[in-house]
């Protein structure tokens, strides 16, 4: 693996770790609002992002490349509303999609077929990530982020559970 690809993958580890940190911060925000279903959804999202970071970490290590961990930026901790938090979630997932797409572009330019193959899982994963965030955001906008329907969505979100990547792939 060349240095350009190595550096780009190491940056993605940091981006995935920040994603986890951001969603954990959102989980704390929702827990403070007594929206425990939303808090759970974000906590599971944080676990998924940490698993993504570790998937990159393991791949870099498997390729016998030096892993370089960097400082993780402090995430925001307050949002004006449930809708605002979910808008940020959706925008953040779009950002991660663009980062993954850029990694694919680098892999193609550098003719790193193994990394391109590895990244295809993330390309598919990001379609799912964006769709889930957008669906939840759309539901919140339909109810203006409040009222009895917010309570119903919150109750539904309590049921989300983290599925480790190796178990998710087996399904």
Domain annotation for the chain: domains and CATH numbers: 3-162 (1.20.1260.10)
Q: Summarize pLDDT for 96-155 with one digit per residue, the tens.
A: 999 999 999 999 999 999 999 999 999 999 999 999 999 999 999 999 999 999 999 999
**Nearest C-alpha neighbor of 4 from the set 94, 141, 12, 126:** 12
Report the mean per-residue pLDDT for the chain.
95
Helix (H) or strand (E) holding 21: helix 3-32
The model's pLDDT over 26-61, given as tens digits with 9 standing for 90+, comes to 999 999 999 999 999 999 999 999 999 999 999 999
- Give CA–CA dist 147/50, Å, rounded: 33
Phi-psi label, residue 163: left if phi above 0, alpha if psi -120 to 50, beta otherwise: beta
pTM for this structure?
Answer: 0.93
pLDDT in tens, 65-104: 999 999 999 999 999 999 999 999 999 999 999 999 999 9
User: pLDDT band at 166, cuts 50/70/90?
Assistant: confident
| Confidence category of residue 168, pLDDT binned at 50, 70, 90 | low
- Residue 142 Cα to chain centre, angstroms: 24
């Amino acid at each position: 693996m060349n240095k350009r690809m190595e550096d780009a993958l190491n940056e993605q580890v940091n981006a995935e770790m920040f994603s986890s940190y951001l969603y954990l911060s959102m989980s704390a925000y929702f827990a403070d609002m007594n929206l425990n279903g939303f808090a759970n959804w974000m906590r599971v999202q944080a676990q998924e992002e940490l698993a993504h970071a570790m998937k990159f970490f393991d791949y870099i290590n498997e390729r016998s490349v030096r892993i370089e961990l960097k400082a993780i930026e402090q995430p925001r901790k307050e949002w004006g509303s449930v809708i605002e938090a979910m808008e940020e979630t959706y925008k953040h997932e779009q950002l991660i999609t663009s980062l993954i797409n850029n990694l694919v572009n680098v892999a193609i330019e550098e003719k790193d077929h193994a990394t391109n193959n590895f990244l295809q899982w993330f390309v598919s994963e990001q379609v799912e990530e964006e769709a889930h965030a957008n669906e939840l955001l759309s539901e919140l906008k339909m109810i203006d982020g409040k009222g009895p329907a917010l309570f119903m969505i919150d109750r539904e979100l309590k049921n989300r559970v983290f599925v480790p990547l190796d178990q998710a792939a087996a399904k």
